[in-house]
Amino acid sequence: MSRRPRLLALAHPLVLSALAATVLSACATGEPPPSAPPATPAAAAAATAIDPCTLLHDDEATALLHGAPTRSGPVERNRGTSCTWTTSSGNLISVQVYTGSAFYAPDMQGPDGRRLSGVGDDAFVDKGIGGAITGETVVFVDAVGPGMQAGIETALRTAVARTA
């Protein structure tokens, strides 16, 4: 069994517990649960304007994954768009694009990460993830599999350069 299904199996009850706690807390106080502000039409249009599948090419994903991947995407979810390349052995690399600085929080998303210079307005890499912000465009690259950490920085630099 690969690490990914075990992690998902562990994460699923935690997510449900957190959601239940939020809803119960809101019911107890009589206040509605916190929600994100509605997206403006301009922000929604900008989010869909960048196709994450164009930020990393299939041949680049093949080189980073050390094998021929299958691409899925673009897929819209969580107010962003993602594209994922997965090999038959379960290695994967994913590129996600969001619009809005609220999506970029490197101290939370990569608490042990290091900053990258020369990538967007601000960028970081950490274990399994890299992220960058340029203006209001936020790009994340994450990877799963042995030896994938080295490819995250390369993929992030490539993806951010293509958003310009």
pLDDT at 21: 37
Task: Give one DSSP letter per residue of 58-91, joined into a string.
Answer: HHHHHHHHTS--EEEEEEEETTEEEEEEE-TTS-
Q: Which residue has the higher pLDDT, 19 or 142?
A: 142
Cβ-based neighbour number of residue 52 at 10 Å: 25
Whole-angstrom distance, CA of residue 86 vs CA of residue 148: 12
| pLDDT tens-digit readout, 51-67 | 999 999 999 999 999 88
Q: Which fold has domain 41-161?
A: Protein Transport Mog1p; Chain A (3.40.1000)
Q: pTM for this one?
A: 0.71
Q: Which residue has the higher pLDDT, 37 or 19?
A: 37
Per-residue b or e along 98-120, where b marks 16 or more CB atoms closer than 10 Å to that residue's CB: bbbeebbebeebbeebeebeebb
